[in-house]
Each structure stands twice: as structure tokens, then as C-alpha cells.
Amino acid sequence: MNHLIESVRSGGRHMTILGVISIILGIFALMAPGIAGLSVAVLLGLVVLAAGVVRMLWAFRSDGVWSFALGSLTFLCGVALLANPLFASGVLAVVLAAYFILDGVFEIGAGFGSTGPGRGWLVFAGVISILLGAMIWAQFPWSGAWAMGILLGIKLFLVGLVMIAGGSTVRAVAMG
């Protein structure tokens, strides 16, 4: 039983540490929003490029012409995203707007469904997420890398607050 309690406490500590890291990353993104937004766009390009390479390599093992064609298309999309990070930030703005809105809806639902002391923060973070998504969408296509960096920084900061509150709750419950 003591092992289980210590495991729960440890999980709460880890959640709190991750929350602090999220807040720090959010502050960095807010301090340099253009760099943060373009960095995310470049990272997206690298991930898509790598996915294309993996898919093309897999096509050689599976003898799939369509798999190779899809891998080539994915690779070319990655190249396009890396060649024009502003285009990538536009694509990311649309995806991020949708994510923030959906994330906000689910956070609000989770907050109202929760009975813990951090539920108010969860609902607050959900409302802010929806507002951030709406702001990105309303400013598109002018919502470039700087806007995404600012909004991402705010979101990271709020997620950090929620994680710290959750970690504190988990530790309090484990202590009895």
C-alpha cells in the first residue's frame, strides 16, 4: 500500500515539474514570439519531411507504388514547408486555431465534470483556449508567426498552471 501511495505522490510531483517547465516555455515564447512561431513552423516542416522519407523507404520494402507516391508527396510538402516558413506558419495557424477551439471545449467539459479544487483553472484555461483559437482564426491570414508565438506562449503558461494545480491535488489526495 505504501508503494502505491508513493507512486501517486511521485506522479503528482512529476505533473508539477512538467507544469513548471510548461510555464517557463510559455514565458520564452512570449519573450520571442516571432522566433517561437517560426521555430514551430520549421519543426513542422522537418517532421513532415522525415515522414515522407520514412514512407518512401517503407514503400521499397512493401513494393507499393502508391506508398512511394504518397511518401514523395509528403516529402515535397515537407520541403515546401521548410522552403517557406511563413507559408508553414499560415498552415499551422489554421491547425492551431482548430486545436485551441477543440481543446478549449474539452477543457471546459472536463472542468465541469471534475470535482477537484483545480476545476476552476481548467474551465478558465478552456475559455482562454477558445478565445485564442478565435483570435487566430479572425486574424488569418495576417496571423503570422508572431501571433502564433504569443498565443502558444499563453497556452503553454495556462497548461502549466493547470498541471501545477493537478499535481498539487494528486499529492494532497495521496497524503490522506
What is the rounded CA–CA span in Å between residue 53 and residue 62? 14
Domain contains 119: yes
**What percentage of the chain carries pLDDT values higher than 70?**
97
Residue 108 in any domain: the answer is yes
Instruction: Check residues 148 and 37 and name the one with the higher pLDDT.
Output: 37
Give 73-76's long-range contacts (Cβ < 8 A, gap of 24+): 74/48, 75/49, 76/52
pTM over 0.75: no
Question: In angstroms, rounded to a whole number, what is the distance separating the alpha carbons of residues 174 and 176?
Answer: 5
45 membership: H or E segment, kind and range: helix 33-62
- Domain extent for 150: 2-33+85-175
Q: Is 65 part of any domain? A: no
The answer to whether residue 154 is domain-embedded is yes
* pLDDT of 145: 77
Give domain status of residue 50, yes or no.
no
Is residue 97 situated within a structural domain? yes
What is the number of structural domains in the chain?
A: 1
What was the pLDDT predicted at 92? 77
> Considering the domain boundaries, does residue 44 fall inside one?
no
- Mean predicted confidence (pLDDT) in 97-103: 91
